[in-house]
């Protein structure tokens, strides 16, 4: 079973635009992580935010966490064609769960 659900399921934007994807989860967590997966490949860790943090930045990535709403968002600024991939949130509490993923396409 998967605890997280992501929205939207698919997103298509022009290069240079910002991309925002959201993750909702069901139970209490210790931390939430975001991963990227290029087609048919393994996952790559992007960023981790702890349950006592509200916002975190890493390069062109900005992650927010609202534990009262059990939700998180990932913002990718100034998108590039190379950002085309699937993005997954993953929650770590008593168990580790991945979300359903958002498929991002950045059009050159």
Partner 1 sequence: EAEVAQSPRYKITEKSQAVAFWCDPISGHATLYWYRQILGQGPELLVQFQDESVVDDSQLPKDRFSAERLKGVDSTLKIQPAELGDSAMYLCASSPRTGVAYEQYFGPGTRLTVT
Under the binding rule (CB under 8 A), the answer on residue 45 touching partner 1 is yes
**Which residues make beta-bridge pairs with 87?**
36, 102
Site for partner 1, residues 48 to 67, rule: CB under 8 A? 48, 50
Please give the sequence-ordered ranges of beta strands (E in DSSP) within the chain, or none if there are none.
5-7, 10-14, 19-24, 31-37, 43-50, 55-58, 61-66, 71-76, 85-92, 96-98, 102-107
Under the binding rule (CB under 8 A), the answer on residue 4 touching partner 1 is yes
Write the CB contacts of 96 (distance below 8 Å, at least 6 apart in sequence).
90
Q: Could you tell me the smallest distance in angstroms from the CB atom of residue 11 to partner 1?
A: 15
Q: Could you tell me the smallest distance in angstroms from the CB atom of residue 22 to partner 1?
A: 14
Under the binding rule (CB under 8 A), the answer on residue 72 touching partner 1 is no
- Asked if 102 and 36 count as a contact pair (C-beta separation under 8 A), the reply is no
Under the binding rule (CB under 8 A), the answer on residue 108 touching partner 1 is no
Under the binding rule (CB under 8 A), the answer on residue 12 touching partner 1 is no
Alpha-carbon distance of 67 to 56, in angstroms, equals 14
The pattern of x and - marking residues 88 through 107 that bind partner 1 according to CB under 8 A reads x---x--xxxxxxx------
Q: Which residues bind partner 1 (CB under 8 A)?
A: 1-2, 4, 30-31, 33, 35, 40-45, 48, 50, 88, 92, 95-101
């Amino acid at each position: 079973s998967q605890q997280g659900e992501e929205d939207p399921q698919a997103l298509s934007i022009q290069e240079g635009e910002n991309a925002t994807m959201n993750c909702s989860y069901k139970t209490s967590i210790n931390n939430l992580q975001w991963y990227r997966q290029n087609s048919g490949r393994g996952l790559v860790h992007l960023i981790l935010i702890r349950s006592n943090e509200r916002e975190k930045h890493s390069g062109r990535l900005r992650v927010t966490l609202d534990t009262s709403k059990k939700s998180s968002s990932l913002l990718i600024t100034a998108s590039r064609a190379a950002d085309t991939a699937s993005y997954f949130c993953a929650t770590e509490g008593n168990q580790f769960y991945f979300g359903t993923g958002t498929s991002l396409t950045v059009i050159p």
